[in-house]
């Protein structure tokens, strides 16, 4: 029987206490791709939020740092409003950040921010850092520029951010690793959320503050499903069944549950709590994955993501086709791929493609496409987005010059899936030019 007791608390305000409006003149941002591990928001067993403050630190990829943008405080604003309907309401956090410049660097911000899933840190006038962006929903960022009008005009580059979250712009007191050094280097690994009444002092000393101080669990958002890496930060993935295996990684993991309808099974957690594995056979339907927060003194079950398992095609009988040897229902890929808006041959030069600018987009057409992945340097493999008809796969981001990108593809065959290397893209190759 679930515990449906109230989690509501009184909300006091001292007469005469000043509430300073506005945000400070420097914000920070980073692509969610460079975030390996998010801090966590506390929930109870029913999934209800119990605190608006993150616990833990943002853990970034090697060499990744938060980038800053200087803004005009008087013209910038952070707001939040409810969206959706009961019982599924969320908050839409909106940031308007106005940068005064319109030079080349300011103009390039559009390339960095548009079409990228980012997270932003904003400091209010009390010194509290607020987070705009969530690991559950994508962040929409758009950039507008105004070169002014006449001698009395004003120039500006305006960054508009919209991000869905569970509460108004959560608070963050952890490390912020920047190019100029680390802000709050001691971090926020064990911030207590408290279980009783508040004294009104938000700056308590470290140590036991009445709540649990055990290290919370962390879970990587790259999950290996049926042997293929999937990013589950968006809250859902779609696969062609059956679902037979999953592998999870993280730290201090406590429990992971897999549920389909009323059936539930539990993943096996390794003794060092850094990996977990699940195996089974689910041919179709909706599978929900839940996790515990790893706090043994105050465990909380949290919904994580959903897997939609589409039933595998029965094929046409023998399954074989002439030529390629693929079975019925196998994937096909066009001989042309689109990189940065330009078309290249996928068949010339043994699958080698040369471009002379940072790679920002890739589009692949075909039929029955089930997987396209990209890997470069020391980065983990990232997955392209496949449309519901499985006829296109698209990726966007930014891969710098002097990088070599490996492109992998699946064969679309759920009964015998493959993850094969297909193309190699050389960015700013020493020989130069387009060899296609």
Please report which confidence band the pLDDT of residue 434 belongs to, taking 50, 70 and 90 as the band edges.
Answer: very low
pLDDT of residue 299: 58
Class of domain 332-427: mainly beta
Q: Which of 90, 106, 88, 87 is nearest to 98 (CA)?
A: 106
What 3-state class would DSSP assign to 290? strand
Residues 293, 256: Cα–Cα separation, whole Å: 10
Assess whether the region 218-310 and the region 332-427 belong to the same CATH fold: yes
What are the tens digits of pLDDT across the range 13-59? 888 888 889 999 999 999 999 999 999 998 887 888 888 999 999 99
Calculate mean pLDDT across residues 66-88: 94
DSSP secondary structure string for all residues of 58-106: -EEPTT--BEEEE--GGG-EEEEEEES-TTS-EEEEEEEEEES--SHHH
Q: What phi and psi, each to the nearest 5 degrees, are found at residue 265?
A: -135, 160
The helix or strand, by DSSP H or E, that contains position 288, with its residue range, turns out to be strand 285-292
Mean of the per-residue pLDDT values of the chain: 81
The Cα-based distances of 233 to 191, 276, 352 in angstroms read: 24, 18, 31
Residues 135, 220: Cα–Cα separation, whole Å: 11
pLDDT of residue 297: 52
pLDDT of residue 47: 83
pLDDT of residue 85: 92
**Least-confidence region, from 18-22, 214-218, 369-373:** 214-218
Bridge-based pairing of strands 218-219 and 171-172 is: unpaired
Calculate mean pLDDT across residues 209-225: 68
pLDDT of residue 417: 62
Residues 193, 55: Cα–Cα separation, whole Å: 8
pLDDT of residue 303: 85
pLDDT of residue 213: 39
Please report which confidence band the pLDDT of residue 422 belongs to, taking 50, 70 and 90 as the band edges.
Answer: confident
Q: Structural domain boundaries of the chain?
A: 26-183, 218-310, 332-427
**Least-confidence region, from 147-161, 205-219, 252-266, 274-288:** 205-219
Q: Cα 4 to chain center, whole Å?
A: 31
The Cα-based distances of 114 to 98, 146, 242, 342 in angstroms read: 16, 17, 36, 19
Burial of 99 (0-12, 13-18, 19+ CB in 10 A): buried
DSSP secondary structure string for all residues of 309-333: EEPPP--SSS-B-TTT-PBTT--EE
Burial of 13 (0-12, 13-18, 19+ CB in 10 A): exposed
**Least-confidence region, from 71-75, 260-264, 338-342:** 260-264
C-beta of residue 279 within 8 angstroms of C-beta of residue 285: no
Residues 23, 89: Cα–Cα separation, whole Å: 26
Highest mean pLDDT among 113-117, 179-183, 413-417: 113-117
Which percentage of the chain shows pLDDT scores above 90?
A: 33
**Least-confidence region, from 70-74, 115-119, 200-204:** 200-204
Whether pLDDT at 433 is above 90: no
What are the tens digits of pLDDT across the range 373-412? 888 887 778 888 888 888 899 988 888 888 899 998 887 6
pLDDT of residue 144: 95
What are the tens digits of pLDDT across the range 106-147? 999 888 899 899 999 999 998 899 999 999 999 999 999 999
Please report which confidence band the pLDDT of residue 188 belongs to, taking 50, 70 and 90 as the band edges.
Answer: low
Calculate mean pLDDT across residues 89-93: 95
Class of domain 218-310: mainly beta
- Residues contacting 300, CB < 8 A, separation 6+: 42, 43, 44, 45, 292, 293
């Amino acid at each position: 029987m679930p515990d449906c007791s109230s989690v509501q608390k009184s909300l006091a305000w001292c007469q005469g206490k000043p509430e300073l409006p506005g945000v400070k003149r420097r914000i920070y941002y980073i692509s969610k791709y460079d975030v390996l591990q998010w801090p966590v928001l506390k929930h109870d067993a029913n999934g209800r939020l119990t605190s608006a403050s993150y616990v833990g630190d943002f853990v970034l990829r090697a060499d990744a740092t938060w980038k800053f943008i200087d803004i005009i405080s008087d013209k910038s604003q952070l707001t939040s409003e409810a969206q959706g309907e009961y019982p599924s309401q969320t908050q839409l956090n909106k940031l308007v950040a106005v940068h005064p410049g319109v030079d080349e660097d300011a103009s390039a911000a559009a390339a960095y921010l548009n079409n990228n899933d980012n997270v932003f840190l904003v400091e209010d006038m009390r010194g509290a850092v607020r987070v705009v962006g969530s690991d559950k929903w994508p962040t929409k960022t758009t950039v507008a520029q105004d070169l002014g009008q006449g001698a009395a005009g004003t120039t500006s580059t305006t960054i508009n951010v919209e991000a869905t979250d569970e509460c108004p712009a959560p608070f963050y007191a952890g490390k912020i690793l920047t190019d100029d050094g680390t802000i709050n280097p001691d971090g926020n690994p064990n911030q207590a959320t408290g279980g009783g009444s508040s004294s009104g002092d938000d700056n308590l000393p470290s140590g036991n503050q009445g709540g649990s101080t055990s290290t919370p669990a962390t879970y990587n958002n790259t999950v290996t499903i049926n042997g293929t890496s999937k990013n589950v930060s968006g809250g859902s993935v779609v696969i062609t069944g059956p679902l037979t295996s999953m592998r999870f990684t993280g730290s201090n993991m406590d429990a992971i549950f897999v549920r389909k309808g009323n059936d539930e099974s539990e993943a096996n957690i390794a003794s060092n709590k850094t990996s977990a594995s699940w195996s089974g056979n689910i041919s179709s339907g909706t599978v929900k994955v839940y996790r515990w927060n790893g706090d043994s003194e105050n465990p909380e079950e949290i919904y994580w993501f959903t897997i939609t398992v589409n039933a595998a095609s029965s094929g046409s009988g023998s399954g074989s086709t002439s030529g390629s040897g693929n079975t019925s229902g196998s994937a096909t890929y066009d001989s042309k791929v689109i990189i940065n808006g330009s078309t290249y041959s996928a068949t010339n030069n043994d699958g080698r493609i040369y471009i002379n600018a940072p790679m920002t987009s890739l589009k692949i057409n075909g039929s029955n496409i089930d997987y396209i992945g990209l890997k470069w340097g020391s980065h983990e493999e990232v997955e392209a987005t496949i449309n519901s008809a499985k006829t296109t796969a698209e990726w966007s981001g930014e891969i710098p010059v002097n990088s070599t990108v490996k492109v992998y593809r699946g064969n679309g065959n759920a009964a015998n899936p493959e993850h094969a290397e297909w193309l190699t893209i050389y960015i700013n190759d020493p020989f130069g030019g387009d060899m296609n």
